[in-house]
Amino acid sequence: MPIWNFAPGPAVLPAEVMRQAREEFLDWNQGGTSVMETSHRSKAFMRMAGDAEADLRALLAIPDAYAVLFMQGGASAQFALVPLNLTAPGERVDYVNTGHWSRKAIEEAGRYCHVHLAADAAPPGTSVPQQAELALSPDARYLHYTSNETIGGVQFDYVPDAHGTPLVADMSSDILSRPLPVEKFGLIYAGAQKNIGPAGLVIVIVHKELLGRARSETPSVFDYRKVAAEGSMLNTPPTFAWYMAGLVFKWLRRQGGLAAMGALNRAKAEALYAAIDGSDGFYRNAIVPTSRSWMNVTFTLEDPGLDGAFLDAAAAAGLLNLKGHRVAGGMRASLYNAMPLAGVLALGEFMRDFAERRR
Ligand SMILES: Cc1ncc(COP(=O)(O)O)c(C=O)c1O
């Protein structure tokens, strides 16, 4: 029986990549040691690291004017590092609140600067604000938004226009899921453990104009300019996660890049929302259709008393990790790049079958 892992992160990785990593586990690059046992300063590792960056640049068509950083501390560290690197104390920044993760980013930024809410979705947040609803401050140092709320299942279907202010995005749960106009952004950050690779790595794509503005108290390992100047090797990087990310980038290129992933991810999301919408109310997704996430599909059962039976039967059918986040309840199916269409179709069929049996 195939196993389909719908976990929100750490999440499923491409089977082909996992097999390659297994094959190379004890003897990487014919060096006789594992990549985990290899110096980050060795020629072989430096070459691999450079290839990973080049593949990411090719996938996202990242212009030369941007630095790509391989950092640690997860996306949560970036909640603090963005204001520390881009503002002086007391300066104003604009944030869009669309749910759990934007609230976390807002709370942390509030420790360092004056946060103005450009838009504020009251919980539970069933849509993203439209461009015309964004109240931008004339003196904001940047505009921050969360492109995909992993817990709520709400995703931006457009790139906000910040009217010349640097646009900053937390793309932890939808980076690399479809083509992206990087040139519209000042800075993009993303934790790796969804669409990139194992946890422990966070990617930062930052316009070089924004480097060199860090507050003096910013730790050196978290100062974007210093990290960029040292090729993300100011200290020992998370070598295994970087290696795995490199394999995933190569895999993505073999799949046809982000245009192909976008078409596949759209088809996966449409199939699952169709199963929910076509269930005569047995399942329900509360998100406004244009704000529905392609990556994290949330739904509730009409009778929450059936939640346990649903999860047990799903697990018995090989459909794993469908329980919604503890703050949201209900169900959530995460459909990252490495989840094949076949897994989503299997879930849709199981849901139809379960509804028929338990209605
Ligand atoms: C959108 C988003 N931002 C931030 C985070 C926090 O990431 P980390 O645990 O890597 O700090 C997550 C984690 O799931 C997330 O989904």
Evaluate: CB of 293 within 6 angstroms of ligand 1: no
CB-CB contact of 223 with 85 (8 Å): yes
Ligand 1 pocket check for 146: Cβ under 6 Å: yes
Q: What is the full per-residue pLDDT of the chain (359 aa) written as tens digits?
A: 899 999 999 999 999 999 999 999 999 999 999 999 999 999 999 999 999 999 999 999 999 999 999 999 999 999 999 999 999 999 999 999 999 999 999 999 999 999 999 999 877 789 999 999 999 999 999 999 999 999 999 999 999 999 999 999 999 999 999 999 999 999 999 999 999 999 999 999 999 999 999 999 999 999 999 999 999 999 999 999 999 999 999 999 999 999 999 999 999 999 999 999 999 999 999 999 999 999 999 999 999 999 999 999 999 999 999 999 988 889 999 999 999 999 999 999 999 999 999 98
In one-letter notation, the amino acid at residue 97 is N
Whether 334 is in the pocket of ligand 1, judged by its Cβ within 6 Å, is: no
80 token code pair: 């603090």
Dihedral sign for Cα 51, 52, 54, 55, please: positive
Q: Is 170 a residue of the active site?
A: yes
Q: Does the active-site annotation cover 194? A: yes
* 100 CA to centre of ligand 1 in angstroms: 10
Question: Is 191 near ligand 1, meaning CB less than 6 Å away?
Answer: yes
What's the helix, strand, coil split of the chain in %, to 5?
Answer: 40, 15, 45
Q: Which residue is closest in CA terms to ligand 1's atom 2?
A: 172
Q: Which residues of 163-193 are buried (b: 16+ CB within 10 A; e: fewer)?
A: eebbbbbbbbbbbbbbebebeebbbbbbbbb
Catalytic (active site) residue 28:
no
- Element of type H or E holding 41: none
Helix ranges (H only) for 157-216 are: none
Please state the atom number of ligand 1 nearest to the C-alpha of residue 171. Answer: 1
Report the residue among 97, 103, 156, 172 best suited for mutation to probe ligand 1: largest number of ligand atoms under 8 A from its CB. 172
